[in-house]
Structure 1
Amino acid sequence: MTSKTILFVSDSLGTPIHARGIFNFSYGIVQILSDLGFKVHLLVEPPAAVVNSRMSGERAGLSSVEASALLTDIFRHFQGERFRFDWFYQDPAFQRLCDGFKDLAEIELTIADSKRVACQQKIPVDGEVISEYINSSQTEHLALFDGMLVSEAVYSESFRRAIHKLRPNIVDASGYDFVFVDTPHAIDFVNVDSSKIVFVVHDLIPLFEVTMGYDWREMFVNKLSATAREGRNGIFVSETTRSYFKKFYGSLRLNTSTIVFPPIRKEVVENAIAIGRKPTSNYIREIESNKEAEFAQYVHEQSGNTAEGKRLLFGRGNATASANGKWNGSLPYFCSVLSDEPRKNIKVLVEASKKLIGRANIVVMGQIDGNVHMGGRPELYPNLHFTGYVSDVQKFDLLSACEAFIFPSFSEGFGIPIIEAALFGAPIICSDIPVFREVTNGLASFFNPSSADELVERVNISLRAPSARDDGQQLRQFAIHQFVQDSLKGRLAEVFQQVG
């Protein structure tokens, strides 16, 4: 369709962050852009250790050998620790300027930005380097791109400047036909027309979510203000999100405003079609030994307390734990995919699980310290299991055989896990919030997210009526029609036709 090139701006893809929902959204968008014929380059923050040795503003570009070495460093970096940034500048004198003399601080930042822009490097995504690292789940997404624009501390600076209410970080976008910003960033782009910049707003949750801290709210507002500007093109992941944006930013004149639902990754759709519904899960069989190990670890931690240790070992003083203290893999299970954010509402699942002991199991996927949510008393929750990180294979296995998928969030911009589960034909039990009514087309079982009793009742209805598993087929067909990449390709193509 086109040979135009897009600079793709995403800290989820351009730094080592792999556990956020935004990662899957951006992954799917890049797949569509590639299918549409665009060349896509990723804005990448390189590891600090190689900035001085590999990057220099003294020449226009790197040699092929130097570019290959830098790409190798980036792949290795992405396989290491997760992305971290310092909230404050390491130079205490400059931090004092940021705190009390922002005008002076921004003069210094202007000088720093000019040096950083001069050191930006465009490098191709080399096939030989990819072949060595592509089998890693932490780097396979890098193979989607035709090239990279490597810029020192570009995302770290975005966070810091938003936190301190400083002007946005600068990126030179010369040579690119479009810039695609996958979520608000405190980054400004030079040498590209504003009408060629497309940005995505997933939600405005920090503006009204009471569980979020003031600093995070301020940071979000500053990032959004830097991204959503006059003359740019806005993409919103749901009508619910766009309505909130109009409420708070109604006077802002955008070049275009479009709803593009989050595209589900091709790998998810292909596996959902191939696997569909299964009677049992392979992963469930492994949980009994995992639960026993989890309990043994807790006993070991309590071994210094003789009375507590004996109580745990012999089951005395806790009739519930004694009678129901083991995982029963023969029970039907309900699963969820969550993170530790308070708005994700893990608490209601924990409360509901105690009311479902002996009747149903609950499996929570995600990088979560389950012991914290169980109050350090895992023996009280024999039917509740936190998986920690799971591979796609394990996730697909669990989704394909669960009795239903539970999503208890207080607030969301969309809810990709709901659609992924629906594609496997799982019935959905979710919070009764507007965006979930929208994305499920009303084809879900809704409950008040503040009521564990309501959730238990929805679970009991599912248990009393096994035929409810078939109800998931209506939502599955709706999801296939609305949210797979083939369904969204035309809409995304229209966005670039309008701006291009």
Structure 2
Amino acid sequence: MNKILVVSEALGEPNHKRGIFHFTRELVRSLAADGHELTLLVETTRRYRKLRRRQQRARLLPDDSRLIELLALYRFLDEADMNAPMMRSGGLRRTIDWLRNKLRAATSLEFAVSFLRAIRLLPTSVKLIENRAAGLEYIPTDLRHLQLFGEFQLESGFYTYQDTSALLRLPPPRIDARGYDVILVDTPTRVAIRRDRGAKVICVVHDLLPLTDLKLSDVATRLFLSRLFTSLQQADELAFVSNYSMNRFRALLPQFANLPARVVYPRTRFAAPKLAVPAAARTVRPSFVVIVSAEPRKNLAAVTRAFRKLPQADLIVIGYTGDPSLSRNLPPNVKFSGYVDEAEKAALIAEAHGLIMPSLAEGFGVPIIEALAANTPVLCSDIPVFREVAGELADYFDPFSIDDIRASVTRVMARQDALRDSIRERRTELAERFGHHTQARDLLSHRMVAESVIPAALASPAAPAFDSLAAHGT
């Protein structure tokens, strides 16, 4: 078994990177189930110090009690507001707010410590906190993954400092990872890692959209490039979330073809399937679910326009859209739920007549496998990565055509039983390919590819993915 240090913005600070959060959370579950010892690198900030002081002032526990630290850590990591707007390009107010937040962070004690460590004026001391979660009476569902870590490694201002260091061309933050067999960096991160000889750094690349999405700002592209190149200099191996992402990387950055790489699909839980309810027995009004974030590539506007022409069905929009205009003048059959927790999201998907993925570009598409796990039909854009994930089990449409989306919804309403039977028949294969129990094995497997060519299944959008791709994409 390995000692693994997990470097993850999605888990180690409150943020909005939900897709990365899902990937890493399921991976942590899989690694823990296989018996690996896990440590999470957590950023400490002014807010964390305030929470810790508040616990200490209560004087109910000894000053050296680790429970004080754990309470502060868990509460700090529980502060992510998934409905809060993400920073987008344009707009004087957003620019001022962004600069104000950066200035506040740059004048903090934690930022100064991280900077002094980066320029080697302070040593990279390690502070570990044993995760004795049994002392906590109740842990919310969205925080239960934290129980899987044996320890937390605290780093002052680490994630906050990395972007500022990229913008101002300062040295990257440094961490001491000696004593670990594997350092897992779950998305390109600007970090200099001190480690033992023989220790392995694995960097996960979800997609290259910050480079190729024309709707993202130049600042976002610069930050991502800085993170990416720093990670590539540190990495011994790369992990991609799909063959599509890996091949895009090889095409855009051929100078890194020498780095060993593998595909580790995002995972979900395939519980025992419920008994199917025949379509004739369903009396509820048809409903469809779409899961979005504040990005134009999610293509929500096209789906809502399609449902104007589908008064016989409802559309439930999960997530934060980032554009208030999208929620104005909606047809009565379109409802916005905002952010919901994992249990409610799973219930909405399971009860729906179909899950819609209308994205114009993705690195994978986690809601697809969540729908397949729930035996819910999938309707998605006809793009290569969705063909790789869903194969012939989805109904595809042209994401730029409102009429094509409407026709897809109509087909799925008419073929409910047949579509659900097809998913059920492939359940064993789907669970092996996308079930969380195989994710750790795929990440730590010795099977890798140093170079990759685009598989035939991706060259032809109409080719079913399951018949021509390896079970785990390696």
Q: For residue 414 of structure 2, what is the aligned residue in structure 1?
A: 464
What do the CA deviations read for 1:150-180 (whole angstroms, capped 9, x no partner)? 0111111122223344332111112222200
State how 1:58-73 maps to structure 2 within 5 Å.
65-73=64-72
Task: Kindly provide the amino acid, as one letter, of the partner of residue 103 in structure 2.
Answer: Q
Residues in 2 aligned to 1:86 and 1:369: alpha-carbon distance in whole angstroms: 16
State how 1:385-464 maps to structure 2 within 5 Å.
385-464=335-414
Residues 9, 15 of structure 2: 8 Å contact kept = yes
Q: 1:387 and 1:236, CA in 2 relative to 1: closer, same or farther beyond 3 A?
A: same
Q: 1:158 and 1:66, CA in 2 relative to 1: closer, same or farther beyond 3 A?
A: farther
Task: Kindly provide the amino acid, as one letter, of the partner of residue 472 in structure 1.
Answer: I
Q: For residue 189 of structure 1, what is the aligned residue in structure 2?
A: 193
- Could you state the TM-score of these two structures normalised by the residue count of structure 1? 0.76
Q: For residue 452 of structure 2, what is the aligned residue in structure 1?
A: none
Q: Secondary structure, in 3 states, of the residue corresponding to 2:335?
A: strand
State how 1:47-196 maps to structure 2 within 5 Å.
47-51=45-49, 65-82=64-81, 89-90=102-103, 109-110=115-116, 114=120, 118=124, 120-129=126-135, 131-134=136-139, 136-193=140-197, 196=200
Task: Kindly provide the amino acid, as one letter, of the partner of residue 372 in structure 1.
Answer: S
Residues 278, 417 of structure 2: 8 Å contact kept = no
What do the CA deviations read for 1:102-151 (whole angstroms, capped 9, x no partner)? xxxx9x9455654665454111101333x3241x1342221110101001
Q: Report the RMSD for the aligned CA atoms in angstroms.
A: 3.5
Q: 1:352 and 1:92, CA in 2 relative to 1: closer, same or farther beyond 3 A?
A: closer
Q: 1:255 and 1:218, CA in 2 relative to 1: closer, same or farther beyond 3 A?
A: closer
Q: 1:480 and 1:216, CA in 2 relative to 1: closer, same or farther beyond 3 A?
A: same
Task: Kindly provide the amino acid, as one letter, of the partner of residue 376 in structure 2.
Answer: A
* 1:30 to 2:36 alignment: no
Task: Kindly provide the amino acid, as one letter, of the partner of residue 72 in structure 1.
Answer: L
Q: Secondary structure, in 3 states, of the residue corresponding to 2:192?
A: strand
Q: For residue 363 of structure 1, what is the aligned residue in structure 2?
A: 316
Residues 277, 401 of structure 1: 8 Å contact kept = no
Q: Secondary structure, in 3 states, of the residue corresponding to 1:340?
A: coil
Judging by fraction of residues, say which structure has more helix.
Answer: 1
* 1:224 to 2:228 alignment: yes
CA-CA distance at 1:432 after TM superposition: 0.8
CA-CA distance at 1:436 after TM superposition: 0.5
Moved more, 419-428 or 79-88: 79-88
Residues 192, 234 of structure 2: 8 Å contact kept = no
Moved more, 454-463 or 110-119: 110-119
What do the CA deviations read for 1:375-419 (whole angstroms, capped 9, x no partner)? x224xx111111112233322222223211110011111111100
Q: Secondary structure, in 3 states, of the residue corresponding to 1:151?
A: strand
Residues 335, 398 of structure 1: 8 Å contact kept = yes
Residues in 1 aligned to 2:230 and 2:354: alpha-carbon distance in whole angstroms: 41
Q: Give the length in aligned residue pairs.
A: 422
* 1:377 to 2:377 alignment: no
Moved more, 14-23 or 435-444: 14-23
CA-CA distance at 1:495 after TM superposition: 4.3
Residues in 2 aligned to 1:146 and 1:93: alpha-carbon distance in whole angstroms: 31
Q: Secondary structure, in 3 states, of the residue corresponding to 1:362?
A: strand
Residues in 1 aligned to 2:232 and 2:348: alpha-carbon distance in whole angstroms: 39
CA-CA distance at 1:91 after TM superposition: 7.8
Residues in 2 aligned to 1:446 and 1:428: alpha-carbon distance in whole angstroms: 9
Residues 230, 253 of structure 1: 8 Å contact kept = no
Task: Kindly provide the amino acid, as one letter, of the partner of residue 343 in structure 1.
Answer: R
CA-CA distance at 1:441 after TM superposition: 2.1
Point out where structure 2 has 5 or more consecutive residues left out of the alignment: 54-61, 87-96, 450-474
Point out where structure 1 has 5 or more consecutive residues left out of the alignment: 56-62, 95-105, 281-328
Q: Secondary structure, in 3 states, of the residue corresponding to 2:347?
A: helix
Pick 1 or 2: higher relative contact order, CA cutoff 8 A, min separation 6. 2
Q: Secondary structure, in 3 states, of the residue corresponding to 1:218?
A: helix
Q: For residue 16 of structure 1, what is the aligned residue in structure 2?
A: 14
Mark the structure with the bigger radius of gyration.
1
Residues 47, 74 of structure 1: 8 Å contact kept = no
State how 1:202-217 maps to structure 2 within 5 Å.
202-217=206-221
- Could you state the TM-score of these two structures normalised by the residue count of structure 2? 0.79
Residues 48, 152 of structure 1: 8 Å contact kept = no
Q: 1:162 and 1:277, CA in 2 relative to 1: closer, same or farther beyond 3 A?
A: farther
Q: Secondary structure, in 3 states, of the residue corresponding to 1:251?
A: helix
Residues 3, 36 of structure 2: 8 Å contact kept = yes
Residues 193, 234 of structure 2: 8 Å contact kept = no
Residues in 2 aligned to 1:113 and 1:14: alpha-carbon distance in whole angstroms: 23
What do the CA deviations read for 1:169-203 (whole angstroms, capped 9, x no partner)? 11111222220000111111113448610110111
Residues in 2 aligned to 1:28 and 1:198: alpha-carbon distance in whole angstroms: 17
* 1:349 to 2:348 alignment: no
Residues in 2 aligned to 1:117 and 1:68: alpha-carbon distance in whole angstroms: 27
Q: 1:213 and 1:48, CA in 2 relative to 1: closer, same or farther beyond 3 A?
A: same
Identity, in percent, stands at 28
Q: 1:190 and 1:453, CA in 2 relative to 1: closer, same or farther beyond 3 A?
A: same
* 1:269 to 2:288 alignment: no
Residues in 1 aligned to 2:234 and 2:227: alpha-carbon distance in whole angstroms: 15
Residues 234, 254 of structure 1: 8 Å contact kept = no
